[in-house]
Structure 1
Amino acid sequence: MDEVRFGPELLDRLLRHLVECVPGCDGAGVSTNSRSLRALGSAVDHDGEQWQRGEGPVVAAASGEETVVEALPDGITWVTAVPGSWTHDGPSVLSVYTDHEPKEDDLRVIDQVEPLLATAAAVVEFCADEVLRADQMVQMVQTRRLIEQAKGLVMGRVGGDAGAAFRTLVRASQHFNVKLRDLAAGLVEVVGGAPVGDQEPNAGPTTVPPPPAVRAARLTWQALG
């Protein structure tokens, strides 16, 4: 099967490029699955501290699936935290630390580099040995699609925006101790009344949610009603 070489060194190169292109930037990092995946400069300490405390702009961006821009407690350092592509359990988050509130030009550079970093982070996370098979790439794309479908179902059920729907799914996955991806697949299956693969016969290989995830999805859907 086809393989794509895609390692952490690419993350380092992209992060260095970002630090060099944003004036006053002294660090940048990529986090995923509630931990720092790669970091340069001040991001090494800042990202780790936020995940350890369970709060901060990086954590907020991951849990709310919305970009967060705010000053750190020191009143000097600003962080821009941007959620990106999905890994097994949630979005990757790009964090950029500057000595000033980011300007429009700064945000434009971040927006240009973020998709590349998010994709690289997702690939590295899906394949720790730096070799990604074609079927793993399909799974990565499918995870994102399932999460988006589940968010749409939640919004249709209770209203609210995409961020609120995402937080609802995260809380449910934590409460029932099931993977977010499996919960999303279970929700699509429960609401659709058929296995995910039967609902999208042309989508290729699909995630089959384990029984605990299906049960969690059913209870979640009932609670939302």
Structure 2
Amino acid sequence: MAEDESMNLAAMFASMAETLRQPSVGQTLQQVVELAAETVPGAEYASVTVVRKKRFQIPACTDERAGDLDRAQVRLGEGPALEASTTDQLLRVTDIVTDQRWPRFGAYARESGTRSMLLCQLPGEHGALGSLNLYASQPHAFDATAVQTAAIYSAHASLAVSHASLVDSLNSAVSSRQYIGEATGILMERYQLSSPEAFHLLVRASQDLNVKLRELAGEVVRTGLAPKDLELGSHNGEAAR
């Protein structure tokens, strides 16, 4: 890639950084696929495939074509997106019709009018997040420039997704702390408990009911009362002793 072209790419990605930064992971991923289809030469539609608890999910796609292709790979149990999500390589498929690695998916892609694919892993903070999947209707749609552009773009996208994930985690932590504090206050007032006693009661009920503490606290806050399943009589007696 020529020096001038590299400088232009650097300037483009610098200006794009703020656009990629969205208030949530879901919004960020949607922005990632939409900009990818506009930014990477040859790309016509795009998606993100995410691995969560050993299951493949499709949290964002530019249109139904991309979503259908991803779902087909999950359904068939084979395809470039599944491979790219679990390896650290950039994967280019020049022509899915002649590629013999994924015959069943290749037949599906051919029928859908898709010929080329370019896939980049999106590494997350705690390992592989998934892959950015770029599709084109023409064979040999992704040249060396497209490959380099996609590699740089996926690195910027990964940073944006990691930032959004951190924001989501912080917001969730703040929300959980608020719910638990309010629920503890409600139990203190209603059952004449100290703060440690009320918190212990909430934790004990969470364990007994196999319900997350935040969810149980939210229920207490929403209703203004402790759910009957908390068995407050017996727990209250234990807490007061």
Q: Normalization by structure 1: what TM-score?
A: 0.48
Rg larger in structure: 2
Q: Normalization by structure 2: what TM-score?
A: 0.45
